[in-house]
Homo-oligomer: A and B are copies of this chain.
Amino acid sequence: MLTELRREAYEANLALPAHGLVALNFGNASALDRRRGIFAIKPSGVDYPALRPAAMVLVDVEGRVVEGRLRPSSDTPTHAELYRGFAHIAGVVHTHSIHAIAFAQAGRPIPALGTTHADYFFGEVPVTRLLRKSEIAAAYEIETGRVIRETFARRDPAEFPGVLVNRHAPFAWGPTAAKAVENAVALELCARLALYTLLLAPGRGALERPLLERHFLRKHGAAAYYGQGPARR
């Protein structure tokens, strides 16, 4: 069932180590079939070279396993929560990419310091508030999804296709699993650029608003003129 969805999730998962976004068996990616409300996700604690499309676990958006012999990623409830909360996404990626984690561990958003950032994010990449003791003790992985949604109460997930979970690591998303991977690559790149920029100019502020808008909108706005077709993200 849903062979294509499994393959999409499988390929997104394999793209994580290929792009240097994960070490060991860290991280996970999923792909959603929004019509059926089912997503395919990496099984828990399996090494990437051992992954196969058939090993992807099918889960519904309530987080219940629909099909699969293996246990799904322990972060599955976070994915489900994001799919329930963000109506226009169909791919979610959780990585352990180095520089993004450094910002998450520091509890700092990634400031929008240049046009590379503006090509993907319409302002700073936000960091969630710390979870409360009671949230950690209870359904921790669901609460992780909830605190991300809380962070986006007044933000558009299409304008900020990624977030830093405080003390933890980034999540990224997109209209497809492949696009979620691309956004995770961009998020890590922006984090690395920001770290080096701040080493050179510690108090450096955000780039100027007109430049932010020009770059974001030439790739993503209604009048986008970057690439070969209508704007996608």
Q: A residues within 8 Å of B by Cβ?
A: 23-24, 26, 43-46, 70-71, 74, 96, 98-99, 101-108, 113-116, 130-131, 133, 136-137, 140, 167-169, 182, 185-186, 189, 192-201, 204, 207-208, 210-211, 214, 218, 225-228
Contacts and interface: CB of A to CB of B under 8 A. Distances in A.
Contacts of A115: 167-169
A21 to B, nearest CB: 12
A71 B228 contact: yes
Nearest to A201: B106
Identical chains bound together, number: 4
A105 B114 contact: yes
A84 to B, nearest CB: 22
Given A167-B211, A201-B106, A101 B45 contact: no
B208 A199 contact: no
Contact of A136 (B70, B102, B137, B210): B210
Given A102-B193, A114-B167, A214 B140 contact: yes
Contact of A105 (B131, B140, B168, B197): B197
16 contacts: A23-B189, A24-B185, A98-B193, A99-B196, A102-B197, A103-B200, A106-B200, A106-B204, A107-B201, A108-B201, A113-B167, A136-B214, A195-B196, A195-B200, A198-B200, A199-B199
Contacts of A101: 114, 116, 193, 197
A185 B226 contact: no
Q: Which of A23, A43, A131 has the most CB of B within 10 A?
A: A23
